[in-house]
Structure formats: C-alpha cells, structure tokens
Structure 1
Amino acid sequence: MTAFWLAAAALLLVAFAFLLIPLLRGRRAQAEEDRTALNVALYQERVAELDAQHAAGALDAAQLETGRGEAARELLADAEQAEGAQRKLGRWLPLAMALLMPVLGLGLYLHWGASDALKLSQQLATEPKNIEEMTARLEETVRLQPDQAEAWYFLGRTYMAQQRPKEAAPAFGRAVELAGRQPELLGQWAQALYFAGGQKFTDEVRSLGEETLRLDPQEPTTLGLLGIAAFEEQRFVDAVRYWERLVATLQPNDPSREPIQGGIARAREQLAARGESMPEAPPPAAPLAIKVSVSLAPELAAKVQPDDTLFIFARAASGPPMPLAAKRLKVSDLPVEVSLSDSDAMMPQLKLSNFAEIRLVARVSRAGTPTAGEWVGQSEVLKTAEVGDQKLVIDRADQK
C-alpha cells in the first residue's frame, strides 16, 4: 500500500503542475501585456503633446527632440519594471481549487475505490505462513468478490481440512449456485453436509450423492462417502461395491488406496461374521459400441481443406466436459462410418457405458484442436441404453 500512496502523491504533483504552472504563466503574461499597452499609450500621448507645443511655437526643434528622448527613456524604464507588477485579483481561486482537488480525489477513492482489493492482491502474492492465514485470505476474497465460485470452493476445502464442516457446507453450496451442478462440487457439498449433520446420511445427502453419480459414476468423493454411509448402516455389500469402484479410479501409487482397501477388508470381515458373503458379481455386459456415420453438408465442401482435422467423439450430456470416446480423422476421409465404444475411452473410469445420456459431436478443426474448430455437427441428447446407429451431418459454424 505504501508504494501505491507514493505513486498517487507523485501523480498529484504532476496534476498540480499542469494546473498551476500554465495559470501562473498566463496571469503573468497578461499582466505584462496590459502594463506594456498602458505605457505605450502614455508615450504616444506625451509625444502628441510635444508635437502640439512645437506647432504652437512653444518649443523649438531641439526642445522637441529632448522631450521625445525623455518620453522614450521613461517607456523603457517602465518596461524593465513590468515583470514585478502583477494583479492579485483571483489568485486565491486556483490555489483553493488545487488544494481541494486531492481532498476530493481521496474522498471519491475511499468511497468507490478498491483499496481493500489492492491490499488483498498484495497479500495473495506472498505464500501464506499457515492454514489459518490461508483461511483468512479466502474469507476476505469471498467478502470482496462474492461471485467467485473458485474462491468459495477452495474456502470450503480449507474449512474441511480444519474439521469445520458446518462452515464448509454453505461455502460449497454457494460454489454450486455460482458454477452450476458439477459432479465434483456436488460431491464435496454432500460430504460436508454429512459431517456437519453428525455423520448422518440424511435425505439431502442421499439425493446429492445420487445426483452426483448420475452425472459422473466414478466421482471419487461421492463413492467414498456412500461407502462410509453404507458401512455405518451395516450395508456391507454396498460399502464393498462403492469402495471397489473408488479404488478402480485411483492411480497405483495413490496413498489413499491402502486405507480404502482396508475398509473393503473390514466390510468383508463383517459379512463373514454374520455368515454372509458377497453375492456373485453379474457377468460383465458386452462393451457398448455406437456406429456413427458422418458426412459434410454440400454447401461446406468449398470451405474446408482435405487436410483439416476431423474429430468424432461422444461426451456426457451432463458431467465431465472431456470426451468419453473419440476418433481423429481428416476431412478427406468423409463421408465415413466409425464405431465409438468403451475401448475408445479417453480415461478408464470414463466409459460410455457409465453414463446414462450422451451427445455425439463431429468437428472440423483446421488447427487440429478438438475443443474448437470451424464447422460442427452434433446429435440431440441420446439415452445410452437405447442408442442405435447414428448419423451426423457437419452443417454449421462452430460457436466455440
């Protein structure tokens, strides 16, 4: 903040210079001009008087020249003294304006300025010393910028790290309100509500968990939470299934794998103690495959190049934005028929068969970027369980 006020003071001095220097120069020049004009008029009047006396015979030629010389000397003497002769009328008005300008500017800045935001930005430029300082910064951020979904989300995560779920739950709720019902946000919100309510699996928590898994069947926070809830309710079969799905999404070196696998083992022990066993897993379903025929609208034939990249992919209608399955071809391959299946999954946990509704997209991108291009064709929302062979026509400009 010190640097800011020093810079403001320097700018104020520059403003003073622009305001006062031309004004003072102008007043001095005007005063000098008025004094000079008066002296010249007096000189001309004196010379005219001498000429009249000479014409009347009161002065001879020598006396006339002497009188004219004295008048000229007086004019020069007055001109030399004109620099110190300035009028004082109106001098205080510009000085008062110059003094009032910083006061007025300071008042307007304190009312409408962003000194708090400036101070916060300087704080954020340095690494927090501890989690309490990080929390204070995030709380100040959401106070100054209440429409920042990311700040609310990280504030909720920080509260959870401090075992403060009752404060984390409304923070996640605000993030969902601002950013939309994204699976990750819903999962974190449900988890915060679960712990804020004394680890009770309420209807609200259950509803949020189910909604999250409809959007993203492999959302890890929700799978872990539902596994915990099932274990607490002694639904050990459900706990095992949720946690096994969670383990399948984790990397081999993920440190959370071991405690989750320990939970699975304890759930199986509880089943064995009750004389029960895990039911046989249903046979795996045949991998989902969708045949997609793609063509180019005739009116676009002259607007594309044979080497332009063609992306054909499927993505979840509601859920993660990345493609679930994709193919990369060239415009020269059109018309073309491809098959999108679980084996084309971009990530093992994001398979076509894991999502209830999908959308098919074909995009032409001259730059070879799958997320944006020049021309596109896409399907309506399709139910994965009922989808059959599909046709796509690339027929309109890409708006992304």
Structure 2
Amino acid sequence: MTLFWVASAILILLSSVLIAIPIIRKKANTDDVLRDELNKALYKDRVSELAEETRSGIVDDQQELVNDLKLSLLDDVPNHQSSKARRSITPLAVLLPSIVFVIALSYGMYFKFGASGKVEEWQQVSANLPELSKKLLVPEGAVLSDDEMRDLTLALRTRLYYHPDDSTGWLLLGRIALANRDVITAIGAMKKAYKLKPDDDDVKLGYAQALMLSQEELDQTVARRILGQLVQNDYVDLRVFSLLAFDAYERADYTAAIRYWKVMQRMIGPEDGRYSMLVQSIDNAQQQLATSTASDKSVSVTIAVSDQVNIEPNSALIVSVHSADGSPMPVAAARYPLGSFPRTVVLDDTNSMLQDRKLSSLESLLVRVRLDKDGNVATKQEDWFGESEVVKMGQPVSVTIDRQY
C-alpha cells in the first residue's frame, strides 16, 4: 500500500500544479483600461470630425456636440469600486480551495469505488504464498480448505505474472487446477512448467496427469509416452503406475492393468489400507480378461520382442487385425503405450475401423504389430514390426517383433 500512497500523492501534486499555473500567471484585468483608451481615441477622432464638419458648414453649433460627446464618454466610465473589489481576491484564495477540493474528490472517489479492501486482501494473500505453498508441497500433505485453495491460486497467478519463468509456480498452479478438476487450466499450467523443465520427473508426472484428463486422443497419447519414460527412468512414484493401470483398463488392456496394479501392491505392501482395493481391481480386471479371451468374437494377442530390436523410448505400440488374405487395410486396430514385453492385448468389435465391417465378422485373420517411433502411422521408415500366421477367429495369436522397414 505504501507504493499506492506515494503514487497517489504524486498524481495529486501534479494536478495541483496544473491548477495553480493558470491562477498564478493570471494577469490583472485590463478591460477597464483598454475601454478608457478606446473611448479617448474615439473622442479625439470625433472632435476632429466635428471641426471638419464645422468648417464645411455641416454643423452649426460645434461646442454643443462636443459637450454631448463628453457626457457620453462620462457615462462609459467603469465602476472603479467594483473593479477594486474584484482585484482584492488574491490567487491564493482561489488556489487553496481548489487543491482541497481535488484531494477530497480523488480520495473520496477511490474509497467509494476503488475496492481498497480487496486490494489490501490481495496483498495479504500474496504475502502468505510461501506458507500456503508449503502445505501443498507436503506429500500426502495437509488438506487445504476451499478458501486456502482460492487464496493460493490468486497468489500464484500474481507471482507468475511477474515471474513467468518460475516452473515451480506453474507446477503448483497445475496441481491446484487438477484438484479442482479444471482441466484447461491444469494442462496450460503444466505445459508451461514442462517447457521450462522438460527433464524434471515431478513436472513430467504433473503434465501427464493433466493430459490424462483431456478428451483429446493426442493429449492422452502424449501422456502415455511421458509415463513410459518415467517407468524406464526408474522413477518410483505410485501415481505413475496408477495412471498407467487406469488408462490400460479404460482401453480394455486388462493384462497391462493387472501388471501395473501388481507393481503398486509390491510398492505399498499388504499392511497398507490401499492393498485390498488393488486386490479388488485386479480381480475385476482378471474377470474382464477371462470374459474377453473366452469370447470367440475377440482376438487375444501375445506380443514379444526379439533381442535384436532397439526400442526407442518414445515409441508407440500399434496392433492391427487384417483379413486372412493380408490386405493392407486393417479390419481393427488399436494403439498402446510402449510398456514392457512380453505383453498381451485384446481387440474386439470396439476396435473395428468400419461400422459395416466388424472384427467379429472374420473367420480367419492375421495380426500385424509395429513399434511406431515417431507417432505418425503414415510413416514406417526404420519402424520395427512383426506379423502372425493366419489363425481362426477365437484362437490366441502370438507375434514376435523382429523385422524393420
């Protein structure tokens, strides 16, 4: 607030100077003097004209007309008393009330419409940013109230306005948005943090969490790639495997979901209260997997990778089902994060490419698997792939990735 008072005082001082200049520099009112001079000049001119008219015989009594002219001039003499009264008002008598009025009006309008209370509250919230941030950064930490979350958001936005290169600030803002399910803000904040520190594992995890909430398939693909990098970097965080498990389950990749949940079980141990919840999740996924595998309308594909294959960490796994004649156009296809091998995926009618041609309509089929290194399905250069033998619908399929385009 000190800065505000200094700035407002300077502005009022400048306003006062602008008011004072014309008042101080105001010249004495010379209208009366000018009128006297003008009347004298007119009188002399008229007297000269009367003399000329008398010589010409136009005027008979020049003196009478001169007397009338003098009377007229006398009637136009200014009231010196009123002029003196006007001159008795000093510039200071006008200047001081004007300055007082400007000060009263300025501060009165500010206190009425300037939201000074909210400004003070905003500054107090900004000053509490370190304390609020500590609460949010504590793992399994203290739960912030709605008011504290709102204050922390305001303080962070203020700080980030003046310090846009603060990656920690963007990370905190993204976490708050995640807690409030504000997907757009979360993705935007986490993306800024990721650009500032692309190698920070905590930032990577936050960015992946935000992208997983997006409805865009491209965002979710990027999230899977980032999570795959974290797993390969041995970044041990329960949330990484939880996100991967949930994503795999949503995509009906029940084998991968079970594998990730079992990793989480080993990380927390049986004594943890969440262990029983993981057991339920695994049981549910195993039931779904058994149902899918038992159905003659789905294709279960077990994928292995040859030792000669050099896997790029950013690669994506693309599995496609084709008719037995080897047509390049797949009947069904699915895209998965890289994960680990060997692994099993299940494709069914939900993965069909065309509505009028379902996967379940095939009697025989073959499966092609590709490690797409650049994320573009249209390019195949240097991608590794494998192809199965022709099998009947409902039979398990095994594919080994061992060839390169």
Structure whose alpha-carbon radius of gyration is higher? 2
Normalised to the residue count of structure 2, the TM-score between the two structures is 0.36
Normalised to the residue count of structure 1, the TM-score between the two structures is 0.37
